[in-house]
Amino acid sequence: SPTLTVKVGVSNFSPDYHMIGAGANVDLVTVSGGSGNYTYSWYLKNSNGVELTSNKNTASTSFSFICSQAGVLTAECVVTDNTTGKT
């Protein structure tokens, strides 16, 4: 069965130290290998894995946020193929 391949482009974000109030945007460049019928779930987590904000089950291929706390942050996107159910 096909495997989803995801490429992500990043603007003003890296998993480095961010200050409170700093903004960033994360964009998907390509998703391939599936049906083309996708939804996206975006998560921003701190260094302890605690979810700070999210945008789940959206058609949006980008995720913008304002940092609510300083520290090391991780942006994650889970892509779901709505036809096959694969992530």
Structure tokens at 63: 């995720």
Structure tokens at 82: 């709505």
Question: Along the chain (87 residues), what's the average pLDDT of each consecutive run of 10 residues?
Answer: 49 47 68 84 86 89 77 81 87
* Angstrom distances, CA of residue 35 to CA of 6, 40, 50, 81: 13, 14, 32, 7
Within 13 Å and on the Cβ side, how many CA atoms surround 38? 21
| pLDDT averaged over every residue in the chain | 74
Cα–Cα distance measured from residue 64 to residue 11, given in angstroms and rounded to the nearest whole number: 10
The per-residue pLDDT for range 24-47, each reduced to its tens digit, is 677 776 777 888 888 988 888 888
